[in-house]
Structure 1
Amino acid sequence: MSLFKWLMSLILLWVKLECSEAALSSDPLVVDIPNGKLRGRDNGHYYSYESVPYAEPPIGELRFEAPQPYSKQWADVFNVTQPPVACLQWNQFSEEKLQGAEDCLTVSVYKPKNTTRSSYPVVVLLHGGAFMFGGAASNGHEYIMREGRLMLVKISYRVGPLGFASSGDKDLPGNYGLKDQRLALRWIKENIASFGGMSDNIVLIGHSAGGASTHLQLLHEDFSQLARAAISVSGNALDPWVVQQGGRRRAFELGRIVGCGQPTDSVELKKCLKSKPAREIVSAVRSFLVFSYVPFTPFGPVVEPADAPDAFLTQDPRDVINSGKFSQVPWVVTYTTEDGGYNAALLLEENKTTGETWIETLNNRWFDWAPYLLFYRDSKKTIKDMDVFSRDLRQKYLGDRRFSVESYWDLQRMFTDILFKNSVPEAIDLHRKRGQSPVYSFVYDNPAVSGVGQVLSNRTDVFFGTVHGDDFFLIFNVGALRKAIRLDEEIISRKFIKMIEDFALSEKGILTFGECNFQNNVNSSEYQVLRITGNGCMNEHYDQFL
């Protein structure tokens, strides 16, 4: 080949590469981040970039370890068009209980098409599922995308024993799922501008275990560097099912179930658990259930020892708040009027072995089952203490009546109070005493036609009221529970999404819902909550906190 032809071929190659680069840079589906270029999908009225890895796969030697940032460099454009895979789990709401994959640490980004703006405030979602199940794909994004004003990021994090098994010492400290969330939040802060997101206008939101996770993330002093505000819907760090004791006993029992024998210490236990098939470890969850899916959180957050590497939580959340060493960002904490429909409703289901409902069986098993249903099994020092507490609860809510379908509403009220409602004024009271940033609250009082109550009980003849998720599923649609929503719920849905957008953009943390302004509980002697109903909203004030 002559020198001239050789030079011409180089020039043509250079031009071709330059044209390719120009085409990629002008393609809205191609995003450039430090790992390289990735290509998303055009969904008509929004773009999606799903299953983007933020951490190294937590497999092999990285199982039961704090997540490591994703380090691979992509030579070619990386395809991110596959829906996120759920982390390996034993799922209460699935007929095929064992599902998901161990390699699951990804974020999924959804960007509306809106010619009137070039950047968007960002809402980051932490899914619920009792720290045991659920996934980024379990909550839909259609409602948010149709409004066209918010960018959404969903985080996948480890759940169940793979995410939360803990021996209570530095060798197997636990909280891996919470550490996943935190690493993902850092990834979002560093990369979201490349997608068109406003990195200084991020709101973190979660429901149930996701709401509790959101609160736990906020309890880190530097959370304000990752998000501007936070919303905990029907779940916060003070709920009794969130930070539990007894983790060490459960971790060694897990080892015994999967064939680790009787390890002498947690180093040996961890080594053995790393060698076992992940599916065996997760399938062992059924051995921790007393009946049905009770307790709904056998593995969850724990207080780690101070010497644990990469520790996430080394004090009880109440002590963290009392210390004042938590992030000063605006926070919203909520509940529904009948949140306890999860998990009280499952007691209405028929026991296929005996033919009677679980609630009828409860009459003979109350003292055995109540500590698991209401999460005081490990917090009471003696069996006598447990029995006294169980007896007092039953007397307070049911008096001398038997557990039955007729007394179900009082049982559900008990579950609502203990598992979800009582913690809200307690949390607000602690925050208002030790914090400076606004703290808001709302209660949702507008029953859906169908929800968690009907699904868990497998019944349509019982009125459950406004149960767990009736509000949240108007923001993040869940087709299995809500086939369609009413006109009043359509209006509420749009108001919720506008509320989140304005919250993300507000420099002073002001919060509004439609025509209603939330009242700040900080520097207030009254407990203030906004009640949202199908007819509107109204502020309620109570003379004192609990």
Structure 2
Amino acid sequence: MSSMGYVFVLMCFWIGSSVGGSRDPLLVELQNGQLRGRDNGNYYSYESIPYAEPPTGDLRFEAPEPYSRQWNETFDATHPPVLCLQSIINTTIGQEDCLTVSIYKPKNSSRDSFPVVANIHGGAFSRGGAVQNGHENVMREGSFILVKISYRLGALGFASTGDTHLPGNYGLKDQRLALDWIKKNIAHFGGEPENIVVLGHSAGGASVHLQLLQEDFGQLARSAISLSGNALDPWVIQKGARFRAFELGRILGCGHLDDSGALKNCLKSKPAIDIVTAVHSLLVLPKVPFAPFGPVVESSEVLNSFLSQSPEEIIKSGKFGSVPWIVSYVTEDGGYNAASLLEESYPGGPTLIEKLNDRWFDWAPYLLFYRDAKRTIQEMDDYSRKLRQKYLGDRKFSVESYFDLQQMFTDVLFKNSTQDSLFLYRKYGKSPVYAYVYDNPADKGVAQVLTKRRDIQFGTVHGDDYFLMFESALRDSLRSDEEKISKNFIKMITNFAVFDEGPLSFGDCTFHDNVGSEKFNLLSITRTGCENKQFIEFP
């Protein structure tokens, strides 16, 4: 090639680079090497990026280790994230090697960088996955980068003997490592590491709160959002975990072992799918308890423990992340749990809610998560009797009294503990804490899907607000009022990611801070609008 020809080629390359941009947005350079994402029309995606070494073999039941492998070839980040290994009814799905983050970046020519929303999925610490939380709604708005986190579930993520051998909380430690990865790497994708909000729903919301209770959380995120789940919910911090861990071992043929170290080694030798499947033997009903394994308070002897005190003790100590927090519930949150009682106990047989009349004292402690919280059977029975009298009086459990049972589940499992958290933060918090309650039933929500019934008015059930932000295949397309609310939620999240000082708004309403307030401040969001409500005493 002549010198003039060579110069011509260089000129063409320079012009092409200048017009089309000097960097291919699908190619990203990380410390591990180069990865390639996908162009999805109005956004880019970079999926299934490992942040931890596979938690298999010797790394099962251990704290996660940062991913350190080098990619000799361009890493293919175009595959949706796999589910972490889990069991639903009689089906086992997912993989044990699942610790990844997936990143979704809007195409928005008006900005060079974006705030970041790190999303921790729900599923009772036992099921669900990053791939099940939709992102089309938020990508259409184009206001932030979304990162979805996968973490270990069920026994593989949370089995604990309460000592140094099998301390538990592996799933929470996965989340923490993922948040650290996001902080260090998100700038490579156009994210703003100084403007990160961590958000979760249900067990994801409780996980966010538990992450927030780490004293150095402010080094990882600017703010946090817990939707229909917080660390004080009775189904979050597990008691009796040691018994369940050894019972799991017995089911798997490790029952002859009487020490934690030997149990751990035996469980490590078992196929992961067998461990996940064995959990069914710990249930008293097909879906009860809905979270047989979950977070625990670790032994004080555990080095680098995630949680060494109860959430209440941590809040009272004042040694937790000092960042703004939003916490919420919906008016019939308990419908997710109560609706399963409308199923038939066997084909053509009585419903479980009808059988509850004879089995209330047996099932209630598992349904409402106080089986291991009461010291004696008498104390447990007294509490069961008190609950039934408060919500049903002398009436029987039936389809006709279902709504009262659902309200019991809402109060015990979600609402009361949300208010308990706010009470503690009002006294011990330092950064703003905002709260909302959502009351706007979906035409088709979780309860209708679980029961396949449309003859019951379930109200605003678990997820009816969350699925306006991150869509779900469970529900129908959004109504016009829901589309407006969806946009307001997404704008609220975006603003909270860069939140410094108030006021924080939703639509035309401004949130009121609970910290230091003499009154309990709650923003009520309904189909027709929003309204601030204040209470001297809890409702």
TM range (shorter): over 0.9
C-alpha root-mean-square deviation of aligned residues, in Å? Answer: 1.8
Partner residue, 2:492:
499
Partner residue, 1:279:
273
Instruction: Give deviations 1:9-48, integer Å, cap 9, x for gaps.
Output: xx9xxx9xx99xx899611000111111110000000000
Partner residue, 1:344:
338
Aligned partner of residue 111 in structure 1, secondary structure: strand
- Mapped contact 1:429–1:545 kept (Cα < 8 A): no
**Identity over the aligned pairs, expressed in percent?**
64
Residue 236, structure 1, aligned to residue 214, structure 2: no
Partner residue, 1:357:
351
Can you give the 5+ residue segments of structure 1 that lack an aligned partner in the other structure?
none
Partner residue, 2:53:
56
Residue 35, structure 1, aligned to residue 32, structure 2: yes
- Mapped contact 1:503–1:510 kept (Cα < 8 A): no
Residue 528, structure 1, aligned to residue 524, structure 2: no
Partner residue, 1:80:
77
* Matches of 2:494 and 2:450, distance apart in 1: 33
The alpha carbon displacement at 1:503 in A equals 1.0
- Mapped contact 2:446–2:475 kept (Cα < 8 A): no
Partner residue, 1:107:
101
The alpha carbon displacement at 1:278 in A equals 0.1
The alpha carbon displacement at 1:458 in A equals 2.3
- Mapped contact 2:246–2:255 kept (Cα < 8 A): no
* Matches of 2:322 and 2:21, distance apart in 1: 41
Residue 312, structure 1, aligned to residue 320, structure 2: no
What letter is aligned with 1:40? G
Aligned partner of residue 58 in structure 1, secondary structure: coil
Residue 290, structure 1, aligned to residue 284, structure 2: yes
Partner residue, 1:117:
111
The alpha carbon displacement at 1:505 in A equals 1.7
The alpha carbon displacement at 1:281 in A equals 0.0
From 60, 65, 76, the equivalent of 2:62 is 65
* Matches of 1:76 and 1:241, distance apart in 2: 44
The alpha carbon displacement at 1:354 in A equals 6.3
What letter is aligned with 1:258? L
Partner residue, 1:540:
533
* Matches of 2:148 and 2:502, distance apart in 1: 23
* Matches of 1:259 and 1:401, distance apart in 2: 45
- Mapped contact 1:338–1:468 kept (Cα < 8 A): yes
TM-score between the two structures when normalised by the length of structure 1? 0.94
* Matches of 1:185 and 1:545, distance apart in 2: 34
Residue 182, structure 1, aligned to residue 179, structure 2: no
Instruction: Give deviations 1:446-489, integer Å, cap 9, x for gaps.
Output: 0000111112222111110000000000000001x113110000
Instruction: Give deviations 1:263-312, integer Å, cap 9, x for gaps.
Output: 12100000000000000000011111111200100000000011113310
Partner residue, 1:335:
329
Aligned partner of residue 482 in structure 1, secondary structure: coil
- Mapped contact 2:443–2:476 kept (Cα < 8 A): no
What letter is aligned with 2:463? G
The alpha carbon displacement at 1:143 in A equals 0.4
- Mapped contact 2:247–2:255 kept (Cα < 8 A): no
TM-score between the two structures when normalised by the length of structure 2? 0.96
Which runs of 4 or more aligned residues in structure 1 lie more than 4 Å from their structure 2 counterparts after TM superposition?
Answer: 22-25
Aligned partner of residue 422 in structure 1, secondary structure: helix
* Matches of 1:508 and 1:35, distance apart in 2: 37
From 155, 162, 169, the equivalent of 1:168 is 162
Aligned partner of residue 252 in structure 1, secondary structure: helix
Residue 212, structure 1, aligned to residue 209, structure 2: no
What letter is aligned with 1:54? Y
* Matches of 2:183 and 2:99, distance apart in 1: 17
The alpha carbon displacement at 1:545 in A equals 4.5
* Matches of 1:97 and 1:159, distance apart in 2: 15
- Mapped contact 1:349–1:458 kept (Cα < 8 A): no
Aligned partner of residue 418 in structure 1, secondary structure: helix
* Matches of 1:460 and 1:160, distance apart in 2: 32
- Mapped contact 1:229–1:509 kept (Cα < 8 A): no
The alpha carbon displacement at 1:97 in A equals 2.6
Could you say if the C-alpha distance between residues 509 and 279 of structure 1 is closer, same or farther in structure 2, counting changes exceeding 3 Å?
farther
Aligned partner of residue 221 in structure 1, secondary structure: coil
- Mapped contact 2:368–2:412 kept (Cα < 8 A): yes
Aligned ranges 1:415-454 → 2 under 5 Å: 415-454=409-448
Aligned partner of residue 491 in structure 1, secondary structure: helix
Instruction: Give deviations 1:125-160, integer Å, cap 9, x for gaps.
Output: 000000000000011000000001110000000000
What letter is aligned with 1:34? Q
* Matches of 1:90 and 1:339, distance apart in 2: 23
- Mapped contact 1:91–1:134 kept (Cα < 8 A): no
Instruction: Give deviations 1:397-438, integer Å, cap 9, x for gaps.
Output: 000000000100110000000000001111011112112100
Instruction: Give deviations 1:334-387, integer Å, cap 9, x for gaps.
Output: 000000101001111112256110000000000000000000000111111111
- Mapped contact 1:340–1:420 kept (Cα < 8 A): yes
- Mapped contact 1:436–1:522 kept (Cα < 8 A): yes
